[in-house]
Amino acid sequence: MDKCAIHYFSGTGNTHNMIMLLADELGRNGYEVHIINIEKENDRKLDNYKLHIFCYPIYGFGTPEIMLKYISKVRTPSNSNAAIVCTSAGFEGQSLFHIKRVLAKKGFEVILTDMVTYNYNWTQIFNPKTKEKQKEIFREAEVESRKIAKKLINNVTGFKNRNIMILAISWIIFIIFNKLGRKFLGRTYIADDSCINCSKCKNICPAEVIEIYKGKPKWNWKCESCQRCINMCPKKSIQLSIIKLTIYALFQLIPLFIIFNMDKKYGLSWILNIFLFCAMFGINSILANLLINIMERFSLTRKILQISYTKSYRRNVAKDFYISL
Protein backbone atom coordinates (compact mmCIF):
# COMPACT_ATOMS: atom_id res chain seq x y z
CA MET A 1 0.00 0.00 0.00
CA ASP A 2 1.44 3.36 -1.05
CA LYS A 3 1.78 5.99 1.65
CA CYS A 4 0.73 9.58 1.06
CA ALA A 5 1.36 12.60 3.30
CA ILE A 6 -0.88 15.65 3.04
CA HIS A 7 0.83 18.73 4.51
CA TYR A 8 -1.68 21.51 5.02
CA PHE A 9 -2.45 24.87 6.52
CA SER A 10 -6.00 26.21 6.68
CA GLY A 11 -7.11 29.63 7.91
CA THR A 12 -10.86 29.16 8.28
CA GLY A 13 -11.42 25.65 6.97
CA ASN A 14 -11.65 25.77 3.18
CA THR A 15 -8.32 24.01 2.73
CA HIS A 16 -9.15 21.63 5.57
CA ASN A 17 -12.36 20.71 3.79
CA MET A 18 -10.44 20.07 0.59
CA ILE A 19 -7.74 17.89 2.15
CA MET A 20 -10.36 15.72 3.86
CA LEU A 21 -11.93 15.09 0.43
CA LEU A 22 -8.53 14.32 -1.09
CA ALA A 23 -7.74 11.96 1.77
CA ASP A 24 -11.09 10.21 1.45
CA GLU A 25 -10.72 9.64 -2.29
CA LEU A 26 -7.11 8.50 -1.99
CA GLY A 27 -8.00 6.19 0.90
CA ARG A 28 -10.79 4.60 -1.12
CA ASN A 29 -8.25 3.78 -3.79
CA GLY A 30 -5.62 2.00 -1.79
CA TYR A 31 -3.50 4.81 -0.34
CA GLU A 32 -2.51 5.00 3.30
CA VAL A 33 -3.01 8.71 3.95
CA HIS A 34 -1.40 10.64 6.79
CA ILE A 35 -2.60 14.21 7.35
CA ILE A 36 -0.03 16.67 8.71
CA ASN A 37 -1.35 19.94 10.14
CA ILE A 38 1.73 22.16 9.92
CA GLU A 39 0.52 24.24 12.89
CA LYS A 40 0.83 21.23 15.18
CA GLU A 41 3.38 18.94 13.59
CA ASN A 42 6.47 19.74 11.58
CA ASP A 43 9.06 17.12 12.48
CA ARG A 44 7.62 13.89 11.06
CA LYS A 45 10.05 11.57 9.22
CA LEU A 46 9.09 11.93 5.57
CA ASP A 47 11.14 9.25 3.81
CA ASN A 48 8.38 6.62 4.05
CA TYR A 49 5.91 8.45 1.79
CA LYS A 50 5.72 7.94 -1.95
CA LEU A 51 3.57 11.02 -2.47
CA HIS A 52 3.52 14.38 -0.69
CA ILE A 53 0.65 16.83 -1.23
CA PHE A 54 1.12 20.42 -0.06
CA CYS A 55 -2.16 22.28 0.47
CA TYR A 56 -2.86 25.85 1.59
CA PRO A 57 -5.01 28.93 0.85
CA ILE A 58 -3.90 31.87 -1.29
CA TYR A 59 -3.19 35.16 0.50
CA GLY A 60 -2.34 38.25 -1.51
CA PHE A 61 -1.81 36.21 -4.71
CA GLY A 62 0.77 34.05 -2.97
CA THR A 63 1.56 31.42 -0.35
CA PRO A 64 0.98 32.12 3.36
CA GLU A 65 4.15 32.93 5.27
CA ILE A 66 3.51 30.07 7.69
CA MET A 67 3.53 27.60 4.77
CA LEU A 68 6.63 29.13 3.21
CA LYS A 69 8.51 28.70 6.49
CA TYR A 70 7.31 25.11 6.83
CA ILE A 71 8.36 24.14 3.31
CA SER A 72 11.76 25.76 3.80
CA LYS A 73 12.37 23.40 6.76
CA VAL A 74 11.01 20.19 5.20
CA ARG A 75 13.69 17.55 5.07
CA THR A 76 14.05 16.26 1.54
CA PRO A 77 12.78 12.69 1.22
CA SER A 78 14.28 10.36 -1.36
CA ASN A 79 12.38 9.30 -4.49
CA SER A 80 9.20 11.17 -3.53
CA ASN A 81 6.66 12.75 -5.80
CA ALA A 82 4.93 15.98 -4.78
CA ALA A 83 1.70 17.71 -5.71
CA ILE A 84 0.63 21.25 -4.84
CA VAL A 85 -3.08 21.95 -4.46
CA CYS A 86 -4.18 25.37 -3.21
CA THR A 87 -7.56 26.91 -2.44
CA SER A 88 -8.64 30.39 -3.42
CA ALA A 89 -11.58 32.50 -4.49
CA GLY A 90 -10.55 31.93 -8.09
CA PHE A 91 -6.95 33.03 -8.72
CA GLU A 92 -3.74 31.50 -7.40
CA GLY A 93 -1.38 34.30 -8.47
CA GLN A 94 2.26 33.22 -8.59
CA SER A 95 1.97 30.68 -5.77
CA LEU A 96 1.89 27.39 -7.68
CA PHE A 97 4.76 28.48 -9.91
CA HIS A 98 6.75 29.60 -6.87
CA ILE A 99 6.21 26.53 -4.67
CA LYS A 100 6.81 24.16 -7.56
CA ARG A 101 10.28 25.67 -8.00
CA VAL A 102 10.98 25.61 -4.25
CA LEU A 103 10.03 21.94 -3.91
CA ALA A 104 11.99 20.99 -7.01
CA LYS A 105 15.10 22.61 -5.53
CA LYS A 106 14.57 20.55 -2.38
CA GLY A 107 14.61 17.32 -4.40
CA PHE A 108 10.91 16.61 -4.90
CA GLU A 109 9.56 15.48 -8.25
CA VAL A 110 6.57 17.80 -8.66
CA ILE A 111 3.97 16.02 -10.78
CA LEU A 112 0.86 18.15 -10.37
CA THR A 113 -0.18 21.69 -9.45
CA ASP A 114 -3.84 22.64 -9.21
CA MET A 115 -6.38 24.85 -7.46
CA VAL A 116 -9.87 24.39 -6.02
CA THR A 117 -12.20 27.38 -5.87
CA TYR A 118 -13.89 28.15 -2.55
CA ASN A 119 -15.72 31.10 -1.04
CA TYR A 120 -13.48 34.00 -0.05
CA ASN A 121 -13.06 34.44 3.70
CA TRP A 122 -11.59 37.98 3.79
CA THR A 123 -14.26 39.15 6.23
CA GLN A 124 -12.01 42.02 7.31
CA ILE A 125 -12.72 43.62 3.93
CA PHE A 126 -15.60 41.81 2.18
CA ASN A 127 -18.90 40.39 3.40
CA PRO A 128 -18.84 36.57 2.91
CA LYS A 129 -21.47 35.02 0.70
CA THR A 130 -24.77 33.71 2.05
CA LYS A 131 -24.98 30.24 3.60
CA GLU A 132 -26.91 29.00 0.57
CA LYS A 133 -24.23 30.25 -1.83
CA GLN A 134 -21.48 28.82 0.37
CA LYS A 135 -23.15 25.38 0.28
CA GLU A 136 -23.27 25.55 -3.51
CA ILE A 137 -19.58 26.48 -3.68
CA PHE A 138 -18.67 23.62 -1.34
CA ARG A 139 -20.58 21.15 -3.51
CA GLU A 140 -18.66 22.31 -6.58
CA ALA A 141 -15.40 22.22 -4.61
CA GLU A 142 -16.03 18.60 -3.63
CA VAL A 143 -16.36 17.61 -7.28
CA GLU A 144 -13.11 19.42 -8.16
CA SER A 145 -11.23 17.98 -5.16
CA ARG A 146 -12.17 14.42 -6.02
CA LYS A 147 -11.17 14.99 -9.64
CA ILE A 148 -7.72 16.11 -8.50
CA ALA A 149 -7.40 13.05 -6.25
CA LYS A 150 -8.26 10.79 -9.19
CA LYS A 151 -5.57 12.50 -11.27
CA LEU A 152 -3.05 11.59 -8.58
CA ILE A 153 -4.36 8.05 -8.34
CA ASN A 154 -4.04 7.61 -12.11
CA ASN A 155 -0.60 9.27 -12.22
CA VAL A 156 -1.86 12.12 -14.38
CA THR A 157 0.62 14.97 -14.48
CA GLY A 158 -0.23 18.59 -15.16
CA PHE A 159 0.58 22.14 -14.16
CA LYS A 160 -1.46 25.33 -13.97
CA ASN A 161 0.48 27.90 -15.95
CA ARG A 162 0.28 31.69 -16.10
CA ASN A 163 1.89 34.06 -18.57
CA ILE A 164 4.92 36.11 -17.60
CA MET A 165 2.97 39.37 -17.21
CA ILE A 166 0.45 37.89 -14.77
CA LEU A 167 3.22 36.21 -12.79
CA ALA A 168 5.18 39.47 -12.57
CA ILE A 169 2.17 41.49 -11.39
CA SER A 170 1.26 38.73 -8.91
CA TRP A 171 4.79 38.73 -7.52
CA ILE A 172 4.72 42.50 -6.96
CA ILE A 173 1.34 42.38 -5.20
CA PHE A 174 2.38 39.39 -3.10
CA ILE A 175 5.65 40.97 -1.96
CA ILE A 176 3.84 44.16 -0.91
CA PHE A 177 1.13 42.15 0.85
CA ASN A 178 3.53 39.73 2.55
CA LYS A 179 6.07 42.30 3.71
CA LEU A 180 3.69 45.14 4.62
CA GLY A 181 0.00 44.63 3.87
CA ARG A 182 -0.83 41.69 6.12
CA LYS A 183 1.08 43.26 9.00
CA PHE A 184 -0.74 46.59 8.83
CA LEU A 185 -4.09 44.86 8.32
CA GLY A 186 -3.47 42.81 11.46
CA ARG A 187 -3.01 46.01 13.42
CA THR A 188 -6.39 47.33 12.20
CA TYR A 189 -8.35 44.69 14.11
CA ILE A 190 -10.17 45.68 17.28
CA ALA A 191 -12.52 43.90 19.68
CA ASP A 192 -15.70 45.83 20.40
CA ASP A 193 -17.67 45.98 23.67
CA SER A 194 -19.36 42.62 23.04
CA CYS A 195 -16.02 40.87 23.72
CA ILE A 196 -16.34 38.48 26.70
CA ASN A 197 -12.58 37.96 27.17
CA CYS A 198 -12.80 34.25 26.33
CA SER A 199 -9.30 34.34 24.76
CA LYS A 200 -10.40 32.06 21.94
CA CYS A 201 -8.85 34.39 19.35
CA LYS A 202 -5.52 34.15 21.12
CA ASN A 203 -5.68 30.37 21.46
CA ILE A 204 -6.55 29.66 17.81
CA CYS A 205 -4.22 32.18 16.18
CA PRO A 206 -1.77 30.18 14.01
CA ALA A 207 0.86 32.93 14.10
CA GLU A 208 0.49 33.61 17.85
CA VAL A 209 0.14 37.34 17.25
CA ILE A 210 -2.66 38.04 19.75
CA GLU A 211 -2.13 39.04 23.36
CA ILE A 212 -4.79 39.86 25.93
CA TYR A 213 -4.32 43.37 27.30
CA LYS A 214 -6.73 44.57 30.00
CA GLY A 215 -9.22 41.91 28.99
CA LYS A 216 -9.14 42.71 25.27
CA PRO A 217 -7.17 41.11 22.41
CA LYS A 218 -4.36 43.09 20.87
CA TRP A 219 -2.60 42.20 17.61
CA ASN A 220 1.11 42.60 16.91
CA TRP A 221 2.91 43.02 13.57
CA LYS A 222 3.21 39.34 12.57
CA CYS A 223 -0.38 38.71 11.46
CA GLU A 224 -0.84 36.10 8.69
CA SER A 225 -4.14 37.73 7.65
CA CYS A 226 -5.72 34.26 7.77
CA GLN A 227 -9.01 35.79 9.04
CA ARG A 228 -9.47 33.04 11.61
CA CYS A 229 -9.99 35.37 14.57
CA ILE A 230 -12.63 37.58 12.96
CA ASN A 231 -14.50 34.60 11.52
CA MET A 232 -14.39 32.36 14.60
CA CYS A 233 -15.04 34.85 17.41
CA PRO A 234 -18.11 33.41 19.24
CA LYS A 235 -19.61 36.89 19.77
CA LYS A 236 -18.59 38.44 16.42
CA SER A 237 -16.69 40.96 18.53
CA ILE A 238 -13.65 41.33 16.29
CA GLN A 239 -13.97 44.04 13.66
CA LEU A 240 -11.96 46.09 11.23
CA SER A 241 -11.39 49.50 12.80
CA ILE A 242 -12.05 52.14 10.17
CA ILE A 243 -10.28 54.72 12.33
CA LYS A 244 -7.14 52.59 12.69
CA LEU A 245 -7.08 51.97 8.96
CA THR A 246 -7.53 55.69 8.28
CA ILE A 247 -4.74 56.66 10.69
CA TYR A 248 -2.27 54.27 9.07
CA ALA A 249 -3.30 55.38 5.58
CA LEU A 250 -3.03 59.10 6.36
CA PHE A 251 0.32 58.73 8.10
CA GLN A 252 1.69 56.96 5.00
CA LEU A 253 0.26 59.52 2.57
CA ILE A 254 2.13 62.31 4.32
CA PRO A 255 5.58 61.15 3.07
CA LEU A 256 4.28 61.02 -0.50
CA PHE A 257 2.91 64.54 -0.22
CA ILE A 258 6.13 65.90 1.29
CA ILE A 259 8.40 64.16 -1.23
CA PHE A 260 6.24 65.25 -4.16
CA ASN A 261 6.50 68.90 -3.11
CA MET A 262 10.23 68.68 -2.30
CA ASP A 263 10.93 67.07 -5.66
CA LYS A 264 8.87 69.71 -7.42
CA LYS A 265 10.76 72.49 -5.65
CA TYR A 266 14.32 71.11 -5.50
CA GLY A 267 14.40 68.43 -8.24
CA LEU A 268 15.68 65.60 -6.03
CA SER A 269 17.22 62.46 -7.53
CA TRP A 270 15.11 59.30 -7.57
CA ILE A 271 17.56 57.59 -5.19
CA LEU A 272 17.13 60.39 -2.65
CA ASN A 273 13.34 60.28 -3.12
CA ILE A 274 13.29 56.55 -2.32
CA PHE A 275 15.56 57.03 0.69
CA LEU A 276 13.42 59.85 2.08
CA PHE A 277 10.21 57.91 1.51
CA CYS A 278 11.53 54.79 3.28
CA ALA A 279 12.81 56.85 6.20
CA MET A 280 9.56 58.79 6.59
CA PHE A 281 7.49 55.64 6.05
CA GLY A 282 9.24 53.94 8.96
CA ILE A 283 9.01 56.97 11.24
CA ASN A 284 5.36 57.60 10.42
CA SER A 285 4.50 53.93 10.99
CA ILE A 286 5.96 54.20 14.48
CA LEU A 287 4.06 57.44 15.13
CA ALA A 288 0.77 56.00 13.83
CA ASN A 289 1.23 52.92 15.99
CA LEU A 290 2.02 55.08 19.03
CA LEU A 291 -1.13 57.16 18.48
CA ILE A 292 -3.29 54.04 18.18
CA ASN A 293 -1.75 52.50 21.31
CA ILE A 294 -2.57 55.67 23.26
CA MET A 295 -6.14 55.73 21.93
CA GLU A 296 -6.66 52.09 22.94
CA ARG A 297 -5.87 52.91 26.56
CA PHE A 298 -8.79 55.26 27.15
CA SER A 299 -12.41 54.22 27.05
CA LEU A 300 -13.63 57.24 25.04
CA THR A 301 -11.01 57.03 22.31
CA ARG A 302 -11.28 53.24 22.23
CA LYS A 303 -14.99 53.70 21.49
CA ILE A 304 -13.98 55.82 18.53
CA LEU A 305 -11.60 53.11 17.33
CA GLN A 306 -14.49 50.63 17.37
CA ILE A 307 -16.22 52.39 14.49
CA SER A 308 -16.53 49.69 11.83
CA TYR A 309 -18.67 48.27 9.05
CA THR A 310 -17.91 44.57 9.67
CA LYS A 311 -20.25 43.99 12.62
CA SER A 312 -23.13 43.25 10.26
CA TYR A 313 -21.01 41.03 8.03
CA ARG A 314 -21.61 37.31 7.87
CA ARG A 315 -18.83 35.04 9.12
CA ASN A 316 -17.27 32.24 7.10
CA VAL A 317 -15.95 29.07 8.75
CA ALA A 318 -16.07 25.71 7.00
CA LYS A 319 -18.13 22.93 8.58
CA ASP A 320 -16.24 20.79 11.12
CA PHE A 321 -13.19 23.08 11.10
CA TYR A 322 -13.75 23.88 14.79
CA ILE A 323 -13.19 20.20 15.58
CA SER A 324 -9.84 20.09 13.80
CA LEU A 325 -8.28 22.88 15.88
First to last CA, the chain: 29
Write the single-letter amino acid at 284. N
Check residue 272 and give its pLDDT: 79
Check residue 274 and give its pLDDT: 81
Name the CA radius of gyration of the chain, rounded.
22
Judge whether residue 198 has pLDDT over 70: yes
> What's the mean pLDDT in 230-246?
96
Check residue 319 and give its pLDDT: 80
Q: What is the spatial distance between Cα 176 and Cα 109, in angstroms, rounded to a whole number? A: 30
Judge whether residue 226 has pLDDT over 80: yes
Check residue 255 and give its pLDDT: 79
Q: What percent of the chain has pLDDT over 70?
A: 97
Judge whether residue 320 has pLDDT over 90: no
Length of the chain: 325
> What's the mean pLDDT in 215-226?
94
Q: What is the spatial distance between Cα 56 and Cα 85, in angstroms, rounded to a whole number? A: 7
Per-residue confidence at 323, pLDDT binned at 50, 70, 90? Answer: low
- Grouping H, G, I as helix, E, B as strand and the rest as coil, residue 91 is coil
Q: Residues 262-304: pLDDT tens digits?
A: 777 777 777 877 887 788 888 989 999 999 999 999 999 999 9
Check residue 322 and give its pLDDT: 72
Q: Residues 153-191: pLDDT tens digits?
A: 999 999 988 899 999 999 999 999 999 999 999 999 999
At the topology level, CATH places domain 177-241 in: Alpha-Beta Plaits (3.30.70)
Domain ranges of the chain: 3-166, 177-241, 243-304
Evaluate whether 26 touches 155 at the Cβ level (below 8 Å): no
pTM above 0.85, yes or no: yes
Q: Residues 104-141: pLDDT tens digits?
A: 999 899 999 999 999 989 999 999 999 999 999 999 99
Check residue 76 and give its pLDDT: 74
Check residue 74 and give its pLDDT: 87
DSSP string, 9-32: --SSSHHHHHHHHHHHHHHHTT-E
Q: Residues 34-76: pLDDT tens digits?
A: 999 999 876 667 778 889 999 999 999 999 999 999 999 888 7
Please provide the average confidence, as pLDDT, over all residues in the chain. Answer: 92
Least confident of 136-150, 240-254, 267-281: 267-281
At the topology level, CATH places domain 3-166 in: Rossmann fold (3.40.50)
